[in-house]
Amino acid sequence: MKSSLLARQLQSLFGGEKDEGFRLALAQARNGNSAPLLAQLEPLIEQVDSAYAAYVNLNQWTTVLSGDALMDWNLLTGAIDVKRGWKEMLGYDKTELGDSVVQWQQLLHPEDARRFQEALAVHVERRDRWFELECRLRGKDGGWRWCLMRGAVAARDAAGQPVRLLLLQRDIASFKRTQAELIEARDLAESASQARGTFLANMSHEIRTPMNGIIGMTELALDTDLDAEQRHYLRTVKSSAESLLGIVNDVLDFSKIEAGKMDIEAVAFPVEEVIFEAVRVLAVDAHSKGLELVVDVAPGVPERLVGDPTRLRQLLLNLVGNAIKFTERGEVCVRVEIETGAAGDVLLHVTVRDTGMGIPLSKQQAIFAAFTQADASTTRRFGGTGLGLAICTKLVQLMQGQIWLESEEGKGSCFHFTARMGYVDDAGEQPDAEESFTGRRALVVEKNAGAALCLQTMLERQGIKTAVLAEPAQAVTAIDMNRTLDQAFDYLLVDVDMPAPGGMALIESWRQAGQHERVLALLTTDNQRREIGRLRELGVQVHLMKPVGRGDISAALMLLEQQGRERQSDFGPAQPEASRSLRILLVDDNPVNQEVARRLLQKQGHRIKIANHGGEAVDMFEQGSFDVILLDMQMPVMGGVEAAEAIRARELRRSWVVSREFQPIYIIAMSANAQGSDREQCLAAGMNDYVVKPLILDELHAALAKVPAAGDGNWVSASSVGGVLADGCLDLPGALANLGDVDLLVTMASMFLEDWQNYIDKLARALHARDAANSRLHAHTLKGLLAMFNAEVARAHALMIEGAMTGESQDWDEVGHEFSALQSEMARIRPQLMRFVEKRSVD
């Protein structure tokens, strides 16, 4: 019995597969056919017994040598069958305490008892080879002793339940002490490094202020009368101060990160714009060295991402700045793509590749450390602190990304970095290919293959079939051939800076041949000044500055289209100024106002497109071409001031691509508030003129007459048109005189009457909820509508309510009285308005 139990135990210990004879005997015994074989089995069992004794012995010796204590738990009886040294390890004598599992467990720290049970349960369940955990046991002196417990089930019953457990117990008190000391030392070191970082951050900040003073004052001094020697000294002061400031800024950033004070923002930002902004800052350096600078944004990159645009810009400035610094000829190419699109976020992957001196393999790790440069002579030649890449490394870590490098000495470098960013819902939407460009054909004549490929991809995304040639001479032949076949290209994109005969010669031949195609010149910041005049003379009005972005291409194509239309209209008879038909973008959120303005304007022969708020207006401005924008001030989503600012910002980008004199769009504000401050706000936002709502025909007319014809160039700012309103509760003749169209007034009145109660209810609800913002909005709407019919008394009440909503706190009782007065006044004018509608409709 004992032997067969041992046999089972050994089977589970050794896996039971090792000895062929042992396995055979077991199989026969299991089959109940044991009698004849018992004799054969006996010696084997004896062998097993002695092997087990040797095993236990060996184990004991092992534990003696390793300093471990050994226990053999009998899980059926709860006794500890074999025990060696576990009590002594805790300071007891071997005769003290009992030898039961319960006894051992009583010494276990309560917090560790649960972990022990869990570890054992997992081990039993998973049948791992062993389990281990650190736990505390109460020593005889009353203190806790850290022990490492390692255990394994040594036998299971037929149902698979464990019946024996072997446990090794090791004293790890000294290890734990060392560990605690190390943690303490690490914490101390960390806090010391943080303190150092904080000190550096504060110091750098303090140094920056006087540095700015030195630079600013030197600049002022340089503007005064100086002799050559003084000028030379001051220039040296200035450039030294600037490079010192650069170093201080790097140290400040670095120590801020070290001190854990660098926060990473999470805001939605336009990715491509931010990247181009950063790269363009460095374009001058690249172009002055004759380097090609290419930015290639992969098609899958969303318009907007959520992250820290400032840090992204900083990374680009560092890496692209280095690439330009360490490259003498060739190109620097920035590639932007999206790597993984897990739900909710994406990994932005930016690559900065150059054709410069490269970095030896032995230095490729080291340069990412602070104050390290690949080559000691670098500092002498190029300056720098060796902090740039260390800062980049920290920044990408903060943005949960990585930075790495591929480079071969003499063959250029390629730096990569990734950053995890949030994904904006609408971000995936790419602007659709402009229908007007689909089916068009373009030829790109560009010496740099990377830049040419980028342009080709962008044009093809606009639906334009694009061919690429690198040689001007080949291009001339291709252009000629296409003309002969009566299939002239629609667009020629010509790199001005090409080997002889050069891009300009190509453009000259285009000019002589009769300008069949529309030409887009590709310029650099270096040749722009020299070439732009000549381009104008040759009739090229739109250019693209390298590096070229998606937005630049769209803006340039749009301008070319506009130019084409202008050219076509040149053939028609000149229209007299008074009856000039304008393309007007009308921006107003109120359908009644939209209808009034539309009819008034159409009657004058103008063409109208309507946007319902500022956001739509900005989009429509980007898509279409208009002579004037009539912009309401108070609108939901995006108000007039914001919209005007956004439009002016976009124009700045357009001005980047236009060779001729750039003409910003004429914007007329429409506002129900005639106060001067409103006007000033409009003008400050870049608007040209201002009319008061409700619109009065003559005044609108007068404002539109001031819109300059294309090419006028001398737009004047702002003449205010005061609104004059007749007194009385409802002055329909006055309203008619303002609108100039009785049918229109009837329509307006019907529309107003239809929604009459709705307007009142909305205001009532907002007032009831004490919601100042909405009360103000609804009162404002009502005020505008009432003013259209010269319902002066009611308008005044609405105006009072609107005005009362502007302050910090509201007198709701007072507002309640105003609202009652407004309601009764409106009730009074309603029948009059209805009669007017009925009478006129009968007529």
254: Cβ contacts below 8 Å, ≥ 6 apart: 200, 370, 387, 390, 391, 394
Minimum CB separation from ligand ADP for residue 282, in Å?
Answer: 13
Binding segment toward ligand ADP, per CB under 6 A, in 349-357, 451-459, 726-734, 769-777: 349-357
Q: Does 355 bind ligand ADP (CB under 6 A)?
A: no
Distance CA 187, CA 669 (A): 62
671: β partners: 692
Shortest distance in whole angstroms from residue 374 CB to ligand ADP:
3
- Contacts with ligand ADP: how many residues (CB under 6 A)? 21
Residue range at the interface with ligand ADP (CB under 6 A); choices 115-123, 284-292, 370-378, 732-740: 370-378
Residue 40 or 379 having the CB closest to ligand ADP:
379
Applying CB under 6 A, does 479 fall inside the site for ligand ADP? no
Min dist CB 285 to ligand ADP, Å, is: 13
Cα–Cα distance, 34 to 1 (Å, whole number): 13
Q: How far is the CB of 404 from ligand ADP (least distance, A)?
A: 13
Stretch that binds ligand ADP, among 387-395, 458-466, 508-516, 795-803 (CB under 6 A): 387-395
**Residue number with CB closer to ligand ADP (402 or 774):** 402
Q: How far is the CB of 379 from ligand ADP (least distance, A)?
A: 7
Residues 6+ apart with CB under 8 A from 835: none
> Residue 240: which of 232, 230, 229 has the closest Cα?
232
Does residue 378 belong to the site contacting ligand ADP (CB under 6 A)?
yes
| CA nearest to 80, candidates 171, 170, 164 | 164
Q: Which of 9, 255, 413, 541 binds ligand ADP (CB under 6 A)?
A: 413
Other CB atoms within 10 A of residue 225 CB: 6
Q: What is the DSSP letter of 657?
A: T
| C-alpha to C-alpha distances, 736 to 374, 588, 597, 747, 807, nearest whole angstrom | 81, 21, 14, 12, 36
Which stretch, 2-10, 351-359, 554-562, 617-625, contacts ligand ADP (CB under 6 A)?
A: 351-359
Q: Using the rule CB under 6 A, give the single segment among 48-56, 316-324, 711-719, 829-837 that binds ligand ADP.
A: 316-324
Closest CA to 311 of 266, 260, 248: 266
Q: CA angle 170-175-179, nearest 5°?
A: 140
Q: Does 385 bind ligand ADP (CB under 6 A)?
A: yes
Q: Closer CB to ligand ADP, residue 294 or residue 597?
A: 294
Burial string for 737-748 (b: 16+ CB within 10 Å, else e) reads ebbeeeebbbbb
357 binds ligand ADP (CB under 6 A): yes
* Nearest to ligand ADP of 135, 367 (CB atom): 367
Name which position in 151, 307, 309, 388 contacts ligand ADP (CB under 6 A): 388
User: Which of 367, 469, 643, 745 is in the footprint of ligand ADP by CB under 6 A?
Assistant: 367
Which amino acid does the sequence have at 486?
D
Q: Which of residues 513-552 bind ligand ADP (CB under 6 A)?
A: none
Asked if 767 interacts with ligand ADP (CB under 6 A), we say no
Given the rule CB under 6 A, which of 8-16, 156-164, 321-329, 764-772 is the region that contacts ligand ADP?
A: 321-329
Radius of gyration of the chain (CA): 42
User: How many H helices and E strands in the chain?
Assistant: 28, 22
Residue 9 is inside which H or E element, if any? helix 2-14
The amino acid sitting at 511 is R
Q: Is 386 in the site for ligand ADP (CB under 6 A)?
A: yes
CA angle 518/524/525 to nearest 5° reads 125
C-alpha 221/C-alpha 238 separation (Å) is 10
Interface with ligand ADP, residue 354, by CB under 6 A:
yes
Please pick, from the candidates 218, 322, 688, 747, the single residue that binds ligand ADP as defined by CB under 6 A: 322
Query: 157 vs 328, which CB is nearer to ligand ADP?
Result: 328
Q: Is 326 in the site for ligand ADP (CB under 6 A)?
A: yes
How far is the C-alpha of 290 from the C-alpha of 546, rounded, in Å?
Answer: 12
Shortest CB 629 distance to ligand ADP, Å? 46
How far is the C-alpha of 370 from the C-alpha of 373, rounded, in Å? 9
- Does 374 bind ligand ADP (CB under 6 A)? Our answer is yes
Phi, psi of 421 (to 5 degrees): -135, 155
- Could you list the residues that contact ligand ADP (CB under 6 A)? 318, 322-323, 326, 354, 356-357, 359, 367, 373-375, 378, 384-390, 413
